[in-house]
Amino acid sequence: MVSSVHAVLATGSGIVIIRSCDDVITGRHWLAREYVWFLIPYMIYDSYAMYLCDWCRTRDQNRGPSLTLRSFLSRNRLMITHHAVILFVLVPVAQSLRGDLGDFFVGCIFMAELSTPFVSLGRVLIQLKQQHTLLYKVNGILTLATFFCCRILLFPFMYWSYGRQQGLSLLQVPFSIPFYCNIANAFLVAPQLYWFCLLCRKAVRLFDTPQAKKDG
């Protein structure tokens, strides 16, 4: 529930920022900076919540605190890295290093949270053992669609938006912006592609009926 509420607020903020910025470079909206202060405690909370969930699943194994922490970091290293990059890299960039430029792109990054409520609902339905229901399958489709649009197509959209304003084609944009911008975007989109592949594999298993397996 907390993750879903955060996702709704982040997505709403992103929409407001994007619609308010007539210029993708110099357009300004106060939410681009102020919402980040709400994002910081959420990321800290989410990391601690993941640790508590992991601890609850393994507490019967009578592990010590240090072993439990090491096991948690090992199993969730990609997600923990994701949260750490947001806190220690993206937050400083968003709050100070970018100066007064790029509110539009900050709003785009906020939009990436649109898929989170559907991911969360899927987890809840699994806990309630509702994987066989139509709701679970429809939610799976919505998860794939929103994840693909808002976490993968988001990056070509940002390049296209910049190119449209500068009179460049989409293919020309990567060669007309600083190299470090391309590197940063590559690092951001790489884990999204990995998670999307995992979602697709899960979707294939979900819709792969016993008859289909037999025919295969």
- Answer whether residue 131 shows pLDDT above 50: yes
Judged against a pLDDT cut of 90, whether residue 66 lies above it is answered with no
Is the per-residue pLDDT at 12 higher than 80?
yes
Q: How far apart are CA 121 and CA 12, in angstroms?
A: 19
Looking at every residue in the chain, the average pLDDT score rounds to: 89
- The phi, psi pair for 24, rounded to 5°, reads -70, -20
Rounded Cα gap, residues 59 and 69, in angstroms = 12
* Contact partners, residue 104, CB within 8 Å, separation at least 6: 17, 18, 21, 23, 24, 25, 27, 161
Q: Considering the entire predicted model, what is its pTM?
A: 0.85
Residue-level pLDDT at 53: 83
Range 44-50 average pLDDT: 90
Alpha carbons 120 and 137: distance in angstroms, whole number: 14
Backbone torsions φ then ψ of 111, nearest 5 degrees: -65, -20
User: How many helical (H) and strand (E) elements, i.e. helices and strands, does the chain have?
Assistant: 11, 0
Model confidence over 161-193: pLDDT tens digits?
999 999 999 999 999 999 999 999 999 999 999
Q: Is the pLDDT of residue 216 over 60?
A: no
pLDDT for res 210: 53
- Give, in order, the Cα–Cα distances in Å from 199 to each of 56, 134, 147, 167, 205: 25, 18, 9, 36, 10
pLDDT at res. 62: 65
pLDDT band per the 50, 70, 90 thresholds, residue 33: very high
Give me the mean pLDDT over the 102-117 stretch: 95
Short-list 125, 112, 119, 113, CA closest to 142: 119
Average pLDDT score over residue span 47-76 = 80
Q: Residue range 123-140: average pLDDT?
A: 91
The pLDDT value recorded for residue 59 is 73
Evaluate if residue 39 carries a pLDDT over 80: yes
User: What are the tens digits of pLDDT across the range 85-100?
Assistant: 999 999 999 998 898 9
- How far apart CA 51 and CA 63 sit, in angstroms, is 14
Tokens linked to 214: 């037999």
198-212 pLDDT, tens digit each: 999 988 887 775 544
